[in-house]
Structure 1
Amino acid sequence: MAAGSGEVLLEVDGGVAIVTLNAPDRRNALTPTMADELIATFDEVDARPEVGALVVRAVGKSFCAGGDIATLTAAGKDPAAPETYDGMGRIYDSFYRLGQVRVPTVAAVRGSAVGAGMNMLLATDLRIVARDARLLCGFLKRGMHPGGGHFVLLSRLIGREAAAAMALFGEEINGSRAVELGLAWESVDDAAVEDRALELAARVAADPELARVAVGNFRKETVTPVSWEIATQFERPSQMWSMRRSAG
């Protein structure tokens, strides 16, 4: 099914929601309108209790080329203009909202991911990437400071040194290097990316109720690390709930 302009597509298959970025003519670069459609789509996913996982993928040669050039150009003319400020905020909100989706999320990444496109894949719980994918931060190359919490998203996965190399010094990596750095779980042939992502998503989506509880605690314990003692308290009621449910 399509939302709005058709630049964001949603289908649900066997408990897995598949969200497709469908603006290949501009390499899936994000506009405020497309960002709004993404947010509405993620809201719909959360509202469907039969969904137990989400895969984000893209049509065309790029996963996401970042923010749309026209949007960025307008922002450069008067960043404080209310409509411009709001538009950039909606783009930020789209990948932040992805990070808050109530089910486990997987990015299926083919082609290039740049800038805000990197933020999009970094917002997911797991990444499957093509071996020949091109992953680059690209903000400074465009004469822009990174936005949307980019330093946090990147460094929490790959550490300070690698984040500095990519975000400050402009290093570009492929899918194989992404796996070495901990930026992705697996790199596969381009044609196999989506099947592998869907295979993993289907596994956790087999029990949507448990998937939603588990990923909520997973994020609390890992995205903002907590002590072992606190983690035990997070997990105990959820584990007891799952045991009681199974016994019933």
Structure 2
Amino acid sequence: MSGEVLLEVADGVAVVTLNAPERRNALTPAMAGELVAALDEADARPEVGAVVVRGVGRSFCAGGDVQTLTDAGRDPAEPGAYADMGAIYDSFLRLGRVQAPTIAAVRGSAVGAGMNLLLAADLRIVARDARLLCGFLKRGMHPGGGHFVLLSRLVGREAAAALALFGEELDGAAAVRLGLAWETHDDDAVEDRAHELAARVARDPELARLAVTSFRTETGPPQLGWEAASQYERPAQMWSMRRSAG
């Protein structure tokens, strides 16, 4: 483990920290694997009744690591490249399946895969000056990871089109207005507020885990399932990556 993902547990709350500020917490396959391992550990500890995901530095998560995307773009169907991209997808899916309620504490920017990561949480608290940008098409890539499902289940079809297809960007106030986040705060208050909410539900971890299972089953992604959407998008994303590497 490189220390690019940290896990701390206290009073029933697990805090998972993305800790690669030199690349703005952009996900490599190895970092994604560390994230999955941290979430596995949180699940294995029955005293954990809530999970907060945060990022160190100027960004929550700047997306997929550029070098990883470039390497995969040369031949996205090559087994190693396919597995590396799959590892990044797996980290979103794993967060969405954590046994306890999850909160994303978002400061700075979240782009592409970083958006998928915060969208995978059950609740979002974002900074007023946060920059939330889907960004896939801007980079010449088709969205991946079930992006359209994750986004539209929160903001609806019209706003999802504006964000994912037409490149609109949100700050904290706009995110709350659209229903993408619960609250927006000054940068230095975001994580404290997320922890306050997490601590509230974590007082009864057994009930929290049972309740969030029902919550996700009853309110989950519409129409095409999330995992199916992730696979449905994948061939188009692979095509766009190969074209960009061209």
TM-score with structure 2 setting the length? 0.90
Q: Give the share of equivalent positions with the same residue, in percent.
A: 78
1:32 is aligned to 29
2:176 is aligned to 179
2:11 is aligned to 14
Whole-angstrom distance in 2 between the partners of 1:66 and 1:105: 20
Contact 2:153–2:222 at 8 Å: present in 1 too? no
- TM-superposed deviation, 1:13: 1.3
Partner of residue 64 from structure 1, selected from 61, 65, 86: 61
- TM-superposed deviation, 1:224: 4.2
Partner of residue 97 from structure 2, selected from 89, 100, 113: 100
Whole-angstrom distance in 2 between the partners of 1:154 and 1:32: 23
Q: One-letter code of the match for 2:53?
A: V
Q: SS at 2:125's partner residue? A: strand
Whole-angstrom distance in 2 between the partners of 1:209 and 1:26: 37
C-alpha RMSD of the superposition:
1.0
Whole-angstrom distance in 2 between the partners of 1:22 and 1:97: 18
- Report runs of 4+ in structure 1 exceeding 6 Å deviation: none
Q: One-letter code of the match for 2:10?
A: D
- Write the deviation string for residues 176-199 of structure 1: whole angstroms up to 9, x where unpaired: 000000000000000000000000
Q: One-letter code of the match for 1:130?
A: A
- TM-superposed deviation, 1:225: 6.3
Label 1:107 to 1:80 Cα distance change in 2 as closer, same or farther (>3 A): same
Q: SS at 1:56's partner residue? A: strand
Instruction: Name stretches of at least 5 consecutive residues in structure 1 with no aligned partner.
Output: 227-248
Equivalences for residues 71-110 of structure 1 within 5 A: 71-110=68-107
2:51 is aligned to 54
Q: SS at 1:87's partner residue? A: helix
- Write the deviation string for residues 156-207 of structure 1: whole angstroms up to 9, x where unpaired: 0000000000000000010100000000000000000000000000000000
Does residue 20 of structure 2 align to residue 23 of structure 1?
yes
Larger relative CO (CA 8 A, sep 6+): 1 or 2?
2
Instruction: Name stretches of at least 5 consecutive residues in structure 2 with no aligned partner.
Output: 224-246
Q: One-letter code of the match for 2:15?
A: I
